[in-house]
Amino acid sequence: MSLKDKKVSTKQTSNKKINVIVTDDVGSYEKHPFFIKKAASAKALLLKIGLPKQLSKKSHA
Protein backbone atom coordinates (compact mmCIF):
# COMPACT_ATOMS: atom_id res chain seq x y z
CA MET A 1 0.00 0.00 0.00
CA SER A 2 1.43 3.37 -1.00
CA LEU A 3 0.38 5.94 1.55
CA LYS A 4 1.51 8.71 -0.72
CA ASP A 5 -1.17 7.65 -3.15
CA LYS A 6 -3.83 8.00 -0.46
CA LYS A 7 -5.96 11.05 -0.94
CA VAL A 8 -6.10 13.27 2.11
CA SER A 9 -8.87 15.75 2.18
CA THR A 10 -10.72 17.71 4.78
CA LYS A 11 -13.84 17.49 2.67
CA GLN A 12 -16.33 14.78 3.35
CA THR A 13 -16.33 12.16 0.64
CA SER A 14 -18.75 9.29 1.07
CA ASN A 15 -18.23 7.72 4.51
CA LYS A 16 -14.49 8.34 4.65
CA LYS A 17 -13.80 11.75 6.17
CA ILE A 18 -10.25 12.42 7.23
CA ASN A 19 -9.53 15.50 9.32
CA VAL A 20 -5.80 15.34 9.36
CA ILE A 21 -3.19 17.45 7.62
CA VAL A 22 -0.31 15.44 6.19
CA THR A 23 2.94 17.32 6.49
CA ASP A 24 6.65 16.63 6.57
CA ASP A 25 6.80 18.90 9.63
CA VAL A 26 5.74 15.92 11.74
CA GLY A 27 8.80 13.82 12.43
CA SER A 28 8.92 10.16 13.29
CA TYR A 29 8.67 9.27 16.96
CA GLU A 30 9.61 5.69 16.24
CA LYS A 31 12.85 5.97 18.22
CA HIS A 32 11.55 8.18 21.03
CA PRO A 33 12.14 6.46 24.42
CA PHE A 34 8.60 7.22 25.59
CA PHE A 35 6.98 5.30 22.75
CA ILE A 36 9.57 2.54 22.78
CA LYS A 37 8.88 1.98 26.47
CA LYS A 38 5.10 2.07 25.99
CA ALA A 39 5.28 -0.39 23.11
CA ALA A 40 7.51 -2.76 25.06
CA SER A 41 5.14 -2.65 28.01
CA ALA A 42 2.16 -3.34 25.79
CA LYS A 43 3.92 -6.19 24.05
CA ALA A 44 4.90 -7.76 27.38
CA LEU A 45 1.33 -7.57 28.63
CA LEU A 46 -0.07 -9.16 25.49
CA LEU A 47 2.51 -11.93 25.66
CA LYS A 48 1.44 -12.61 29.23
CA ILE A 49 -2.33 -12.25 28.76
CA GLY A 50 -2.65 -13.39 25.17
CA LEU A 51 -4.87 -11.99 22.45
CA PRO A 52 -8.64 -12.24 22.50
CA LYS A 53 -10.12 -14.99 20.31
CA GLN A 54 -11.33 -12.46 17.79
CA LEU A 55 -7.79 -11.37 17.04
CA SER A 56 -6.28 -14.81 17.29
CA LYS A 57 -8.21 -15.81 14.19
CA LYS A 58 -6.37 -15.28 10.92
CA SER A 59 -9.33 -13.69 9.25
CA HIS A 60 -12.03 -11.35 10.41
CA ALA A 61 -15.24 -12.97 11.61
Partner 1 sequence: MFLEDKYLYNTNSSFLDFEFESIGPKGIIKKVARFSEIGKNIYNFGFGDLDGATGEISDTAVSNNGDGDKVLITVASIIYDFTSIYTGAAVFIQGTTPARTRHYQIGISKFWTQINPIFEVLGLKNEKWEQFRPGENYGAFLGRRKASFLF
Q: Is 57 in the site for partner 1 (CB under 8 A)?
A: no
Binding mask 22-41 for partner 1 (x = CB under 8 A): xxxxxxxxx-x-xxx-xx-x
Residue 18 contacts by C-beta under 8 Å, 6 or more apart in sequence?
Answer: 8, 9, 10
Smallest distance, partner 1 to C-beta of residue 7, A: 11
- Identify whether the C-beta of residue 20 lies closer than 8 Å to the C-beta of residue 3: no
The alpha carbon of residue 28 and the mean position of all alpha carbons in its chain are separated, in whole angstroms, by 13
Chain residues binding partner 1 by CB under 8 A are 3-4, 6, 15-30, 32, 34-36, 38-39, 41-43, 45-46, 48-49, 51-52, 54-55, 60-61
